[in-house]
Amino acid sequence: MSPAPDLAEMKRRALALLPRLRERAAETETLRRIPDATIADLHAAGLFRMLQPQRVGGSEAPYRALVDVGAIVARACGSTAWVLTNLASHHWMLGMWPKQAQDEIWGGDAADVLIGSVFAFPAGRARKTSGGWRLKGRWPFSSGIDPSRWNIIGALVEENGATAEPRIFIVPQKDYTVIDNWHAAGLAGTGSKDVAIVDAFVPEHRSLPVNAIAGGPTPGSAINHGALYRLPTFSVFPFILSGVALGIAQGAIADFADSMRARAATYTGKRVSELATLQLRLAEAAALADAAETLMLADCDEAMRLTEAGGDIPPETRARWRRDGAYTTQMCVKAVDLLFTGAGGNAIYLTHPLQRAWRDVHAAAAHVVVNWDAAGTLYGRVALGLAADVPAL
């Protein structure tokens, strides 16, 4: 087995893929999923395994890799980056599970198997049974489900007719049905379809309460010793997604600058690059993207540093990470909006990359984890001494 690529090498490999990903961007939208050729390219580059434990051949890169690598890929195709960071994060999450679950899924030659997820806990119900759980429900937005062979699913435990703790379950493909209902205006190529289970048995070793991965030692950290597998999962979750918005903005900035350098105005014939208002839009968009990237990476590095140091991470810090993940996403949305509205009529053509960037970045910002209203009020509650209103902050 060849050594897994480090973060610098993964970034180089991601950059090398950009021409192919740009060429396939329209095809990706038409398919409503990631093309098989792109999945193969991401596998060959080792990018899906960026956060997988080294003991099974993964890179076990620092958490910032999701932002660093995801943003590079998103410069060419937001849908591809969204699926990449989501599926790569599931290798990270699986590294927190009991060894029996890890061995079952990664055993033999299956260490590069892909795993989807759906964390809409109220959409499913689970009840305790001998040796495990019975699970049922229908969940939306399982991004990258088509090439995945397993799914990490959230549900609420049902006891005596009432719901109790939220738990997470890992379910093989044979136990769920994929409902092909993904027809979306943005991130159209992510294949974020519904998943349904009528009644599936999930053995005990493939289920965890959400608090088990809320920070500190996890069942998996007994064999995966790095700080990566002790991070508070749902506190740093926004950075799985915010890096995609960042890359979409960075790609839009580059496309805007390239298209405006030699363009003449339709009615006056003057070079539009001479317009001060256009220059200001480009400057503000670039500043927003640069500031967003700085804050995202600083938070990811801080999370790794605090986790390595041990001890409890204060709720205020966890809420701040959620806040920053959402706010930086909004910064990227604003950057793309500035460019799209300043690009003129050419940007509305489906052949122009700015229209896809505009649709994709708004779709990314619609995810509840980077929704500013939700994350902002969560931070405000905690900062004012109120209890957090989300599980496993």
- Please, how many CA atoms are within 13 Å of residue 241, restricted to the half-sphere of its CB? 29
Determine the pLDDT at residue 345: 86
Element (H, E) at 138: strand 132-142
Q: What is the DSSP string of 81-133?
A: HHHHHHHHHHHHHHTTS-HHHHHHHH-TT-TT--EEEE--GGGEEEEEETTEE
Cβ-proximal residues to 109 (8 Å cutoff; 6+ apart), any chain: none
Determine the pLDDT at residue 273: 82
Determine the pLDDT at residue 71: 98
Determine the pLDDT at residue 190: 98
Determine the pLDDT at residue 392: 82
pLDDT along the chain (393 residues), means of 10: 88 98 97 98 98 97 98 98 98 98 95 96 97 98 98 95 91 98 98 98 98 97 97 97 98 93 62 87 98 98 98 96 98 98 90 96 97 97 93 82
Determine the pLDDT at residue 289: 98
Which amino acid does the sequence have at 145?
Answer: I
Determine the pLDDT at residue 106: 97
Determine the pLDDT at residue 160: 84
Helix 78-94 / helix 36-44 crossing angle, nearest 10 deg: 50
Determine the pLDDT at residue 268: 55
Which single residue is written with the structure tokens 């119900």?
125
Which amino acid does the sequence have at 183?
Answer: H
Determine the pLDDT at residue 1: 58
Burial of 35 (0-12, 13-18, 19+ CB in 10 A): middle
Q: What share of the chain is helix, strand, coil (3-state, %, to 5)?
A: 55, 15, 30
Domains belonging to the chain, first-starting first, are 7-112 (1.10.540.10), 115-212 (2.40.110.10), 233-383 (1.20.140.10)
